Amino acid sequence: MDHAAIAALEDRHSSGGVTRRPVTITRAVGARMWDANGNEYVDCAAAHGWAALGHGHPEVNEAIATQLRSIATLTESSYNDQRARWFGALAELFASTLGTTARGAITRIHPCNSGTEAVEAALKFARVATGRTDFVAAHRGFHGRTLGALSATGTSGYRTPFEPLLPGFQHVTFNDAAALESAITDQTAGVILEVVQGEGGVHLADWDYLRTARQLCDEQGALLIIDEIQTGLGRTGQWFACEHLGVAPDIIVLGKALGGGIPMGAACWREGLGTFASGAHGSTFGGNPLACAASLAVLHVLTRDRLPERATLLGAGVLAELHAAQAKCVREVRGLGLMIGVELRQRVTPVLQELLKRGVWALPAGPNVLRLLPPLTISEDDLERAIGTIVDVLRAS
């Protein structure tokens, strides 16, 4: 089938919820993708943020292939060697990055199949752990599209068509500590925040903001839920973005990069908070050995190849180049590690379309922000080429 036939078939049957770009991607390796017509693209989106190691990383592929020869899918209703190893590896990572505070280390892990499911689990768990039902979240925050996660999401465009959503959610201005203080009460089960708002425009939490959130949660007995689905696992230059600010959450939610391309998410919380009662939460595919094997390979490669450090190094270079470009259409450049936003004085769609024509795949973050999330493994040549093209396109816009 050629691109026209494929597009016609997809358009005939798709649910319509996701707008497609006018290309058919058929193959990808590392940070490069190819379409059905043989055109090449540098993937500066890491396929919406999951491909931290790039596409088809050989060690992840090998782990998947090996695991397929024993068992692929198995619920948590029996024990499994891969799942046990993965639980252990993740708990060790939390201990070495987020530490073991007086509040206790993050040791409890609910495995699931996407970011939004991880958020659902976090919200349910916060309710049972505190016996409360209220949540505080931020305007422009994005936490997913299922009804619970959507209730936490702070952009009206996503929410309004599906209201009424869950009761008890209050949204406050991001980075406004006073607004947080008036919203968090002794009825608050949890406060859910991103450290860098991704979908909402690549906005970084202020230095003191998360610490204030931590302190207010402690004072009111609420749980601090940090959504690291996009920022986690090295993207911002630390394993977890909250490390930049020295704040440890009660619950952390992960997704995207976690499964190395196999759908996977996780909601993870502090030891002292307890566990779900038997039967209170679960998933057919959550914690399946295939995803756990892939994720173990991801964690291994990220550690061995010091990819969080590489994100810091490459990200600093990209930020410097974008700042130096002085394109008239650019209002602000911001970012942390390899999570970069370029706020434009105009809509981003024409810029994305021009980039696509010139072989660079990037993302929007709201109507006027260009978002870059390249694989942490991208070669310096590919990154240089992509940023050169981006600078050219911005200067001409």
Under rule CB under 6 A, residue 110 binds ligand PLP:
no
205 token code pair: 């939490």
- The distance of closest approach from Cβ of residue 17 to ligand PLP in the complex, given in angstroms and rounded to an integer, is 12
Residue 326: which of 383, 378, 397 has the closest Cα? 397
Residue 193, Cβ density class (10 Å: 0-12 exposed, 13-18 middle, ≥19 buried): buried
94 is catalytic: no
Q: Which of 94, 125, 142, 174 is catalytic?
A: 142
Q: Which is nearer to ligand PLP, 199 or 343 (CB)?
A: 199
Q: Which is nearer to ligand PLP, 374 or 393 (CB)?
A: 374
Query: Binder to ligand PLP among 67, 80, 116, 389 (CB under 6 A)?
Result: 116
Give 370's strand partners. Answer: 342, 364
Which of these segments, 30-38, 67-75, 191-199, 211-219, binds ligand PLP (CB under 6 A)? 191-199
Query: Binder to ligand PLP among 43, 120, 134, 227 (CB under 6 A)?
Result: 227
Q: Which is nearer to ligand PLP, 114 or 212 (CB)?
A: 114
User: Chain centroid to CA 190: how far?
Assistant: 19
* CA–CA gap between residue 222 and residue 184 (Å, rounded): 8
Q: How many residues bind ligand PLP (CB under 6 A)?
A: 14
256 is catalytic: yes
Instruction: Kindly give the residue spans of alpha helices, DSSP state H, lying in the chain.
Output: 3-13, 46-49, 58-68, 81-97, 115-130, 147-152, 156-159, 177-183, 209-220, 289-304, 307-325, 349-357, 380-396
Under rule CB under 6 A, residue 198 binds ligand PLP:
yes
Q: Which is nearer to ligand PLP, 63 or 196 (CB)?
A: 196
Under rule CB under 6 A, residue 190 binds ligand PLP:
no
Which of these segments, 77-85, 91-99, 193-201, 348-356, binds ligand PLP (CB under 6 A)? 193-201
Under rule CB under 6 A, residue 389 binds ligand PLP:
no
Give, as one character, the DSSP assignment of residue 77.
Answer: T
* CA–CA gap between residue 138 and residue 191 (Å, rounded): 9
The neighbour count for residue 91, using CB atoms within 10 Å, is 17
3-state secondary structure of 51: coil
Residue type, 67: Q
* CA–CA gap between residue 237 and residue 376 (Å, rounded): 10
* CA–CA gap between residue 129 and residue 125 (Å, rounded): 6
* CA–CA gap between residue 306 and residue 323 (Å, rounded): 26
Query: Binder to ligand PLP among 30, 54, 111, 115 (CB under 6 A)?
Result: 115
Q: Which of 134, 227, 250, 382 is catalytic?
A: 227
Under rule CB under 6 A, residue 255 binds ligand PLP:
yes
Q: Which is nearer to ligand PLP, 116 or 175 (CB)?
A: 116
Helices (H) and strands (E) in the chain, counts: 13, 17
158 token code pair: 């996503």
- The distance of closest approach from Cβ of residue 198 to ligand PLP in the complex, given in angstroms and rounded to an integer, is 5
Which of these segments, 93-101, 140-148, 175-183, 342-350, binds ligand PLP (CB under 6 A)? 140-148
Stretch (H or E) spanning 190: strand 188-194
Instruction: Verify cis geometry, omega within 30 degrees of 0, for the bond prior to 164.
Output: yes
Under rule CB under 6 A, residue 262 binds ligand PLP:
no
Query: Binder to ligand PLP among 229, 352, 360, 373 (CB under 6 A)?
Result: 229
Q: Which is nearer to ligand PLP, 20 or 357 (CB)?
A: 20
Query: Binder to ligand PLP among 43, 134, 199, 343 (CB under 6 A)?
Result: 199
* CA–CA gap between residue 358 and residue 353 (Å, rounded): 9
Under rule CB under 6 A, residue 371 binds ligand PLP:
no
Query: CA torsion sign, 141 to 376 to 252 to 291?
Result: positive
Under rule CB under 6 A, residue 114 binds ligand PLP:
yes
142 is catalytic: yes
Q: Which of 43, 134, 250, 256 is catalytic?
A: 256
Under rule CB under 6 A, residue 144 binds ligand PLP:
yes
Using CB under 6 A, list all residues that contact ligand PLP: 114-116, 119, 142-144, 194, 198-199, 227, 229-230, 255
Where in the sequence numbering do the catalytic residues fall? 142, 227, 256
